[in-house]
Amino acid sequence: MKFVTDLISAQDAKTEKLTEATASGDRPPVDAPTHSGDDTPTDSMPPNGGDPELAWAPIEPAPKKKRLGLWIGLGVGVLALGAGAASMILIAPGTTVAGIPVGWLTPGAAADTIQAHVSQTEITLTGAGDDAVLTGADLGATIDATALADQAFAERPLWNVSMWMGDPVPAEITLDPAKADSALREAVPSSFEDPLDAGVVFDAATGAYVITPSATGTAVDVDALAAAMVDTIADGGSSLEFPGDPAEAAPAVTDEDATTVATSLNTMLGTIGFYIGEERTVPVDAATASTWFSVVDEDGELRIVADETAIQATIAGLPAAVDRAPVNATNIVDSAGKILRTESEGINGRAIGDTSNLASEAASKLEAGDGVIPITVSETPFESVNLVRKIDVDLGSQTATLIENGAVVRSWKISSGKSATPTDTGNFKVYAHVRMQTMKSREPDGSITETPNVPWVTYFNGDEGFHGTYWHNAFGSPRSHGCVNMPIDVAKFVYEWSPVGLEVSVHN
């Protein structure tokens, strides 16, 4: 704008000079004066003889003043537009992030400023540190600069005057544990003695998992150092002192942590195995299970790591332990087909299914702390076999015969009732069994005879039954008071062979 003002001032001077000449009666000079033979100048007049002021009309100052107004107007407008645009992309003055000023900056520039400040902050290690100097970058100091800058701009844009000089935007500064540890160890090696984590191992003598105890160590306190950096930067600083002396370093895995894991593993040892449904079909002993997995310390956390190869070695033997042929059920029935007793329960046959992925599946379950490993099997249903049993007593031949499905099982000589106390004939059914008892018999003269400890009594008709006899050995002839006397071993066989409801036929 200075150029325009100077131009106007020059034209005004020329105008003043012209006015003075006109007032004195002189004519204004022309650009190229002519001379006659004498020295008297000959002035050149305007071509139409008009007013000499007309010759200066093109340099009147009025148009210049109008253009000056236009230039001034344009300048103010550009300034206003620029200020408005700036207010839309800049952060409000007085804004700080973690103590770092970011006012009048764009979010991108603010992010760069925040990160640079954190990275360039200097830490002097005193004491055992012998004044070694590290930077935030050496320690892996990080701050979410981009997100914080965006937050500052979103909450406190320049156009929002009410947010100018606002409270600091809080932020977290973290140190990379590995990088900080490495840098501090190099700077102050004497302050570091590694702690010992507790562990879990299998004790073959007890067949259980036990712990190996932890031990504390020493190190420079990284967490306290990070907190000191945060405080320093929040106060506007960019350097601080921090003691490099050893502080107690606790183990990442404590005895309590290891005990919890050992207890869980020992509980799992009590249930570990291969299951069909709810049945632990193939239990796995603790010694074998201990070869399947181990407990490792990964970054301060105990974790079970399973060995699929070891698991597969056990899986290879599963068919021998799981596969079986069906076992038919055996039922004792009467002549009408009624089941009197199930002699043996039926068992379905089975064959183990696909085990190609079983080792991997087992490993996954074990690493999750679950020792219940399901297996699939295909089954072959059992069949039921009915045995129609009955006992035939021939008083004429003094013989008892056991018959099953029409075939003779066994036959023995007996002693039935004497003529005075005969054994009743007819068709009867076994109704009771007595392991041993004292029997009383009435003699023909009315007297009572007692026989103690009569074994293996199988009753089929009132007080008549089969039983063992130890007081005589004259089988094949009537000797009893109505019962069927048998050798003791035969009576035991009949006792066990004859369920309640078994049919007994007595005839001559």
266-302 per-position pLDDT tens digit? 999 999 999 999 999 999 999 999 999 999 999 899 9
Q: What does the DSSP 8-state code read for residue 448?
A: E
As for how many domains the chain has, the answer is 4
What per-residue confidence (pLDDT) applies to 391?
A: 98
CATH of the domain at 320: 3.10.20
What per-residue confidence (pLDDT) applies to 357?
A: 97
Asked if the structure places residue 259 within a domain, the reply is no
Comparing 46 with 128, the larger pLDDT belongs to: 128
Q: Which of 28-37, 95-104, 240-249, 254-263 has the lowest mean pLDDT?
A: 28-37
Position 365 confidence tier, pLDDT thresholds 50, 70, 90: very high
Same domain assignment for residues 246 and 112: yes
Over residues 32-43, mean pLDDT: 40
339-349 per-position pLDDT tens digit? 999 999 999 99
Same domain assignment for residues 293 and 373: yes
Over residues 443-466, mean pLDDT: 93
Same domain assignment for residues 373 and 421: no
What per-residue confidence (pLDDT) applies to 445?
A: 81
What per-residue confidence (pLDDT) applies to 84?
A: 61
Same domain assignment for residues 289 and 247: no
Asked if the structure places residue 178 within a domain, the reply is yes
Residue with structure tokens 């087992």? 362
Q: Which of 17-21, 130-134, 270-274, 471-475 has the lowest mean pLDDT?
A: 17-21
Over residues 239-262, mean pLDDT: 96
451-460 per-position pLDDT tens digit? 999 999 999 9
pLDDT at 33 over 50: no
Backbone angles phi, psi at 122, to 5 degrees: -100, 135
Same domain assignment for residues 149 and 239: yes
- Return the axis-axis angle of helices 61-87 and 2-23, rounded to nearest 10°: 170
What per-residue confidence (pLDDT) applies to 1?
A: 35
- Domain membership of residue 167 as a residue range: 93-252
What per-residue confidence (pLDDT) applies to 57?
A: 39
Comparing 79 with 234, the larger pLDDT belongs to: 234
Asked if the structure places residue 262 within a domain, the reply is no
Same domain assignment for residues 105 and 179: yes
Same domain assignment for residues 398 and 502: yes
Predicted TM-score (pTM) of the model is 0.56
Q: Which of 64-68, 153-157, 237-241, 402-406 has the lowest mean pLDDT?
A: 64-68
Same domain assignment for residues 153 and 290: no
Same domain assignment for residues 208 and 98: yes
What average pLDDT is seen over the chain? 86
Half-sphere exposure of 428 (CA within 13 A, CB side): 23
Q: Which of 315, 347, 380 is the last residue of a domain?
A: 380
- Residue pair 273/156 in contact (Cβ under 8 Å)? The answer is no
Nearest to residue 208, comparing CAs of 163, 272, 147?
272
Q: Which of 342, 365, 380 is the last residue of a domain?
A: 380
Same domain assignment for residues 120 and 240: yes
Backbone angles phi, psi at 93, to 5 degrees: -60, 150
Asked if the structure places residue 263 within a domain, the reply is no
Q: Which of 226, 252, 278 is the last residue of a domain?
A: 252
Asked if the structure places residue 133 within a domain, the reply is yes
What per-residue confidence (pLDDT) applies to 236?
A: 86
Over residues 419-438, mean pLDDT: 97
What CA dihedral angle connects 226, 232, 237 and 242, to 10 degrees?
-70
CATH of the domain at 464: 2.40.440.10
What per-residue confidence (pLDDT) applies to 70?
A: 43
Q: Which helix (DSSP H) or strand (DSSP E) does residue 468 occupy? A: strand 464-468
Same domain assignment for residues 414 and 370: no
Same domain assignment for residues 208 and 117: yes
